[in-house]
Amino acid sequence: MSIHILWADDEIEALRPHIIFLENKGFNVTPVTNGEDAVSVVSEKKVDLVFLDEQMPGLDGLTTLGLIKQKNPLLPVVMITKSEEEAIMEDAIGAKISDYLIKPVNPNQILLTIKRILDRKRLTNEKAAQSYLQSFRTISAQIDSRPGWKEWISIYTQLTAWEIELENGDEGLQQVLQDQIAQANTEFGKFIEEEYPYWLDQKLPNRPVLSPDIFKEYVLPDLDKADSTFFILIDCMRYDQWLQFENLLTDFYNIDTEFYYSILPTATPYSRNAIFAGLYPSQIERRYPDLWRNADSDETSINKFEPELLGELLQRNGHDIKPRYEKVIQQDDGKRIADRIANYTQSPLNAFVFNFVDTLVHSRSDSDVLKEIAPDVAAFRSLAKTWFAHSNLLQIFKDLSKKNVRIVVTTDHGSVRALRDTKVLGDRNTSTSLRYKFGRQLKSEREASIVANDPAQYKLPKISNTTNYIFAKEDYYFVYPTNYQKFRNKYKDTFQHGGASMEEMILPVSVLTPK
């Protein structure tokens, strides 16, 4: 396919030899003599690259550049100028030119610029592909080496980095990576099934940080290191999504990211209550029965008492302070906080819960439009980034970066793209979640799930003597034999949480300090 180049210069006839040179090299060149025509061509035709004279009568180069970028923000533009004034170059670079050249230019210089710009993506993708293939064996060896919890964090972060690096590359290589991620999750499910019950023994010396440990590990020890501490929990945020958010924050903060493991089930009623209480679900139920709601309770009440649980956590740990707590569900909630964020810095501890990513996950399950907009993990990650880039939360971060604050950002659980169904048997009182269930003597397919016949071993509430829990592994979701095809098709390719996968359990916890 011929590459189409637009060249705008009021002295275009003097450049005719350059244009002929490029056409002989196989390029399709459209010459214009002014900015208005350049903008018109970009509006009407597919253009791969623009050469733009900085000094033209009428619309000058910088004005034309701005109009071109409005039409096509990703179109590469090379500014050509007689001037070497620093201010002009800064304006052009600020408007996101791809390169600039000083007149007079020669044909070979133009050709090299074209190749450098248009081949950059191809060369970058080729280099990334080579690097991943070199890493493939190393990661596979790590997966096969019976890794411990620290090694699983390393495996997951490497795979996530490659998933982002290769998302616009060769489809065949992307499939190789997805197969490796699936292999990793198969082994991770086995690992969690074997090791997780032992982690719940608080006397165990070498275990990961778990949900109930978050405040004790990352928030309480450093309350006096800033005028105010902000704990921000973004519900249902995966590590790959946090990396996208983090990119928008690095100009404002020094960011130190570590990882913790969510408890099972990786679902809000359990994992988030555990974070704010500093206790496991069975401990919350026993100590504060009035503050505990089972997951099959009214959705509005299962996490209703997080402020009270946090207050109790602070009291137990010797902190006689009253935290401020806000749950942001609607946009108006976020705007209200953003408008008054300076007031919150008067409090020693603020806790915010932002629900948008979780809302996006649930909305995608029910919306064909959202499934079309975000058909896969990469597109869903991009959609989450778009939200964050235009959110009140980003504005809150920007405003807080000017204060003497310390911010801890984390999530209660991630999500996984559920692609395979597995049958489950239970009675009508069984809970309704797709990645975990509790009920009376539940039965599920062995290779697809973890069965917790003794809830006490998993520090989960024992609702009756016959209650057990099951957690889906890998990318499975539970379906009853009744109306099997209907629900199998309804929930296939939805993002779900509650089970045991790397994406749901291995979670970032980042400490942000203003630059």
Which string of DSSP letters, residue by residue, matches 43-100? HHS--SEEEEES--SSS-HHHHHHHHHHH-TT--EEEEES---HHHHHHHHHTT-SEE
Mean pLDDT by 10 residues, the chain (515 residues): 88 92 93 94 91 90 88 86 63 67 89 85 77 92 96 97 87 92 97 95 84 97 93 97 96 96 96 96 92 62 88 95 92 92 95 93 86 91 93 96 96 97 89 91 93 94 87 96 89 95 98 96
Q: Where in the chain is the domain with CATH 3.40.50.2300?
A: 4-118
Closest CA relative to residue 185, chosen from 215, 167, 163, 166: 163
Q: Are 52 and 78 in contact (CB under 8 A)?
A: yes
pLDDT of residue 169: 76
The letter for the amino acid at 494 is T
Q: Are 393 and 515 in contact (CB under 8 A)?
A: no
Q: Where in the chain is the domain with CATH 3.40.720.10?
A: 211-416+504-514
CA distance 458 to 290: 21
Q: In CATH, what number does 4-118 get?
A: 3.40.50.2300
pLDDT of residue 231: 98
Check if CATH label 3.40.720.10 holds for domain 211-416+504-514: yes
Q: Are 261 and 414 in contact (CB under 8 A)?
A: no
Q: Are 52 and 61 in contact (CB under 8 A)?
A: yes
pTM higher than the cut 0.85: no
pLDDT of residue 298: 46
pLDDT of residue 503: 98
CA distance 411 to 508: 7
Partners of 477 in the β-ladder? 421
